[in-house]
Amino acid sequence: MKGNKIIIPIAIVLLLAITGFMAMDFFGVFEKPNENPYEYNLDTFKDVKPQDISHKEIQQIFTQIEALRAIAIDKDDYIYVSGADKLIKYDKSGQFLHEIETGFDAFCMAISEQGKLYLGSRKEIQIYTLSLELIDTWKIHAENAILTSLAVNEQNIYLADAGNKIIFRYDLNGEFQNEIGRKDPSQGIDGFVIPSPYFDVALGRDGELWAVNSGRHQLESYQEDGRLISSWKKSSMGVDGFSGCCNPSHIAILSNGSFVTSEKGIERIKITSPTGEFLSVVAPPKSFDLGTKGIDLAVDSKDRILAIDPKRKQIRIFTKLEE
Amino acid sequence: MSKDEKNKDLSRRDFLQKGFRLTAALSLGGLGIFLAKDASSEDMLWQLDPAKCVQCGRCATHCVVTPSAVKCLHVFDMCGYCDLCGGYFRPEAKQLHTGAENQLCPTGAIKRNFVEDPFFQYEIIDELCIGCGKCVAGCDAFGNGSLQLQVSHDICVNCNQCAIATNCPADAFERVPSSKKNISKGFSGGEDV
């Protein structure tokens, strides 16, 4: 009989629990009405460990440029940005200095040591003084050209053409010299895979040309005659590599030869060693609006990293944390 | 019957005759206008504007037709023919092959065909596509946005009040004339593809 005294309360509690559960199941609303069962979620790949972040954002400059696409810095750290129909010059503190209407959609920009600014649209290059006076215009000889990046040194200007998936070398008089990166297995050149109009080039410390083979998640360096020097690649959904069909979308090179890279899909800026090992994150995905693409990069003489944010129409400036 | 009563009868008859004639004339005129309008106007159909679409998944869950009349459309002239296609592979895919565990599409409705190294073509199998937009989101994030959702007019029953349009958070559904029934983005935009 003593056992019955224990069993009955337990049975009552169990019965109440089951009744409650059934009532919740019947009347309760468990499904969130706006939940998307087919959501494409990259959140887990966007997490960055705090110890991996090496830089802080110190300044934002609002440019008011539509389709902001290009940034460059001259040897005195003056900042130039361009996009649809505008070219703007700022001093290194971000103070506005001058603005002109270019009459075309700029896709890319580079500044030579001699003080000339080269502004590229799809098939045309405008050349300006650093006071933003137009001095010349070149037409590109290639059909279907989509110029997405320029790099210039004392002798040459390199044009990355995403339309033809090739780099053109011109001399500074506008004479075509040679192509770089056409597929040639005998020279170990795989050819550029450029699925979308993100095809960036930059000059290394020794004057070598670095190009992003974004469809292969690969960076390749070339001599001016088109001979391949070296390459490295890193495919990964993690922070240590590049993901999607075409990343990194943009690069810049620090004074120690390390690469600053920006990506689309998982919006972030990070630093890798000259041979491609992941070093740190400059700006994690949470610092960008979802869907931000085309984060062009530049590095000034103090190794500050300047990035354009086309969604916010801003120039964003990052310095090392310990500074 | 007095003279006044006779006049009253006549006026009533007159009134009824005139009323009948007017009603007949209005009916005939209305019918004529209706027929003329019907002959000159086009059918209006529901369509989804890919530029506004946010891939919320409701095209898959709210259509009165099962599976949904909204399908993925591939605008080939925008495609990068990527090996690592963001619309085909799950973000965490370990290998770039056609194993089901690597595919993003919940119903396996995208067919991957080798073209030449390293390019692949992606085809949508309409019968399997449920219009969830997951591939569209993946393609938008990493690629050129060549995968887009569109209402398939062969399947759509053209409800007077479209259940998806009512629930679309981006207000991406609109009525379009039957002569211009697609609103795709890109080089083939606006044409029947």
What was the pLDDT predicted at B30? 78
A254-262 contacts at long range (C-beta below 8 A, 24 or more positions apart): A254/A299, A254/A303, A255/A205, A255/A299, A255/A303, A257/A204, A257/A205, A259/A210, A259/A219, A260/A297, A260/A299, A260/A305, A261/A297, A262/A295, A262/A296, A262/A297, A262/A307
What was the pLDDT predicted at A323? 55
Percent residues over pLDDT 70 in chain B: 86
Question: How close, in Å, is residue B96 to chain A by CA atoms?
Answer: 11
CB atoms inside a 10 Å sphere around CB A316 = 21
Can you give the pTM of this predicted structure?
0.80
Strand, coil or helix: what is A4? helix
Question: How close, in Å, is residue B122 to chain A by CA atoms?
Answer: 14
Q: Which residue of B has its CA nearest to A46?
A: B91
Contacting A with CB below 8 Å, chain B residues are: 55-58, 60-61, 80-86, 91-92, 104, 106, 118-119, 132-134, 137-138, 140-144, 169
User: What is the ipTM score, two decimals?
Assistant: 0.74
CB contact under 8 A, A38 and B140: no
The residue-averaged pLDDT of B82-89 equals: 91
Q: Which residue of B has its CA nearest to A197?
A: B144
CB contact under 8 A, A195 and B133: no
**CA-to-CA distance for B120 and B135, rounded, in angstroms?**
16
What was the pLDDT predicted at B188? 44
- The predicted-structure confidence for B17-32, as pLDDT tens digits, reads as follows 888 888 888 888 777 7
Question: Which residues of chain A fall below pLDDT 70?
Answer: 1-3, 26-33, 323
Cα A105–A152–B80 angle (5° rounding)? 50
Residues in chain B: 193
**CA-to-CA distance for A289 and A285, rounded, in angstroms?**
8
Q: Which residues pair with B166 in a beta bridge?
A: none
What was the pLDDT predicted at A1? 55
Between B15 and A278, whose confidence is greater? A278
Kindly give, in sequence order, each residue whose CB lies less than 8 Å from that of residue A111, ignoring residues fewer than 6 positions away.
A72, A73, A74, A75, A80, A117, A118, A130, A152
Kindly give, in sequence order, each residue whose CB lies less than 8 Å from that of residue B155, ignoring residues fewer than 6 positions away.
B65, B69, B71
In this complex, which of A34, A38, A235 lies closest to B134 when CB atoms are compared? A38
Q: How far is CA B134 from the centre of its chain?
A: 18
- The predicted-structure confidence for A69-125, as pLDDT tens digits, reads as follows 999 999 999 999 999 999 999 999 999 999 999 999 999 999 999 999 999 999 999
Question: How close, in Å, is residue B46 to chain A by CA atoms?
Answer: 22
A314 touches chain B (CB under 8 A): no
In the predicted structure, residue B97 carries a pLDDT above the cut 90: no
In the predicted structure, residue B95 carries a pLDDT above the cut 90: no
In the predicted structure, residue B47 carries a pLDDT above the cut 80: yes
